[in-house]
């Protein structure tokens, strides 16, 4: 691979989408900062390596507020309303405090029995398949996180297939018009959901967010509620879908690791952390923009709203941080990975994603002793774009 002054990531084609890690490693060998063009044509500064990436994730000189984006980028926010992911301190601090009152790690752990029940029901259906083969994404990876987040938010009845298409398009399509249409559909859906909850509040997280207030009586505005509903619905399932799929794929592709986990099921928590490190569901985080010139190593990234992306996928594969970083090892100490980000924007839903992945993958292995991959790994098709990483389908047999 020849790396020019500006690297067109889209020109790298399917090889980059399927396995970006060798490309990132070669960039990392040349330095931490690179001028690139994203697959959708947007110019950006890509930061690779663990040390530089982790530092920038916590650097509040980089703004998440889209009003700070340079108009020359031609990018548009892909959410409905104002969210924690599109705000800086002190606005972010306020929003996170209000949401964090309801979305606590303890509350997520208390969902475990219900998540186990949902998982068992989905596996009952899957195991009744006459041919003993299915697409894991359709059978488990997608419906479980979707059912969990819909129940948590109190979504009574929803066309989940349509929602899945909206979400996939909004987050992974390189077609700007298609993304815009999907966002409009999601925005209309979220508005209707909130109207229903205002009229008939229930014992669910979305109703609680509508009515929650801090000690001073501060509440989420209508725009903030719309943004939060969008964020929780989309981020609440998309990352976990691909965490489950990626995990099962790599366990089935590494028989020694699968054998070790079957021999010691108690390793499932550690295995999930290694899955997150080795091939996590978020390749690069949501956009950050420069407000002033930003020195990174020997490069100064200009101010004025330049787009900066941290390659989370590469930070987690940096041998300077993780010994034998390209080796999948469920017994390693994977703590310190940045799959959920770092700093004030660390993923609020990390505890829920971990609970779901532990239960889904652990239950699947327990009930399918003959589980196998039913496709050539090299022929799997992967999600496009630079945000979400995972296979579109994962054929399995048992």
Number of domains in the chain: 1
| Average pLDDT score over residue span 142-161 | 81
Which domain does 179 fall in, by range?
6-397
Is the pLDDT at 2 greater than 60? The verdict is no
Contact, 83 vs 227, CB < 8 A?
yes
Q: What is the CATH number of the domain that holds 252?
A: 1.10.630.10
d(CA 225, CA 24): 37
pLDDT per position as a tens digit, 332-372: 999 999 999 999 999 989 999 999 999 999 999 999 999 99
In a domain, 88, yes or no: yes
Q: Cα(304)–Cα(45) distance, rounded to whole angstroms?
A: 13
Measured CA to CA, the distance from residue 350 to residue 108 in angstroms comes to 9
Confidence of residue 215 (pLDDT cuts 50, 70, 90): low
Reported as a single tens digit per residue, the pLDDT across 161-211 is 777 788 778 777 778 788 888 888 888 888 888 888 888 888 888 888 888
Helix, strand, or coil (residue 290): strand
Query: Is the CB of residue 384 less than 8 Å from the CB of residue 39?
Result: yes
Q: Which residues pair with 36 in a beta bridge?
A: 7, 44
Evaluate whether 391 touches 253 at the Cβ level (below 8 Å).
no
Residues 140-167, mean pLDDT to the nearest whole number: 82
Tell me if 32 is assigned to some domain: yes
> 3-state DSSP call for residue 382?
strand
Q: Is residue 147 part of a domain?
A: yes
What are the E-state strand segments in 205-325?
A: 288-290, 294-296, 299-301, 307-310
Q: What confidence tens digit (pLDDT) does each residue in 238-269 have?
A: 899 999 999 999 999 999 999 999 999 999 99
Residue 1 domain-assigned (yes or no): no
CA distance 231 to 78: 10
Domain membership flag for residue 84: yes
- In degrees and rounded to multiples of 5, residue 173 shows phi and psi of -70, 145
Q: Does residue 79 carry a pLDDT above 70?
A: no
Report the C-alpha gap between 145 and 111 in whole angstroms: 12
CB 178 within 8 A of CB 184: no
């Amino acid at each position: 691979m020849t790396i020019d002054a500006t690297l067109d990531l889209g020109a790298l084609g399917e090889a980059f989408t399927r396995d970006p890690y060798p490309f990132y490693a070669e960039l990392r060998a040349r330095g931490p900062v690179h001028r690139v063009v994203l697959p959708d044509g947007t110019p950006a500064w890509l930061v690779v390596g663990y040390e530089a990436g982790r530092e920038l994730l916590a650097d509040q000189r980089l703004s998440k507020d889209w009003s700070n984006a340079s108009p020359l980028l031609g990018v548009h926010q892909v959410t409905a309303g104002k969210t924690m992911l599109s705000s800086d301190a002190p606005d972010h601090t306020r929003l996170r405090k209000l949401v964090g009152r309801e979305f606590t790690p303890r509350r997520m752990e208390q969902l475990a029995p219900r998540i186990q029940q949902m998982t068992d029901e989905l596996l009952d259906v899957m195991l009744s398949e006459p041919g003993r083969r299915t697409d894991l994404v359709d059978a488990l990876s997608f419906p479980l996180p979707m059912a969990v987040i819909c129940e948590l938010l109190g979504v009574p009845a929803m066309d989940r297939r349509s929602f899945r298409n909206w979400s996939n398009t909004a987050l992974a399509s390189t077609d700007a018009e298609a993304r815009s249409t999907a966002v409009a559909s999601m925005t209309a859906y979220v508005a209707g959901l909130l109207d229903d909850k205002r009229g008939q509040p229930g014992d669910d997280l979305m109703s609680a967010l509508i009515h929650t207030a801090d000690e001073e009586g501060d509440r989420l505005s209508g725009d903030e509620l719309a943004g939060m509903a969008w964020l929780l619905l989309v981020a609440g399932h998309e990352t976990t879908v691909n965490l489950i799929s990626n995990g099962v794929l790599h366990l089935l592709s590494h028989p020694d690791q699968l054998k070790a986990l079957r021999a010691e099921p108690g390793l499932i928590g550690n295995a999930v952390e290694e899955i997150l490190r080795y091939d996590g569901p978020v390749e690069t985080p949501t956009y950050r923009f420069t407000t002033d010139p930003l020195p990174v190593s020997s490069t100064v990234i200009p101010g004025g709203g330049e787009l900066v992306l941290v390659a989370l996928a590469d930070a987690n594969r940096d041998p300077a941080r993780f010994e034998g970083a390209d080796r999948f090892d469920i017994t390693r100490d994977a703590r310190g990975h940045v799959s959920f980000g770092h700093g004030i924007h660390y993923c609020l839903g990390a505890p829920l994603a971990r609970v779901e992945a532990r239960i889904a993958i652990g239950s699947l292995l327990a009930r399918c002793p003959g589980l196998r991959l039913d496709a050539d790994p090299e022929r799997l098709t992967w999600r496009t774009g630079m945000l979400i990483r995972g296979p579109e389908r994962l054929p399995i047999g048992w």
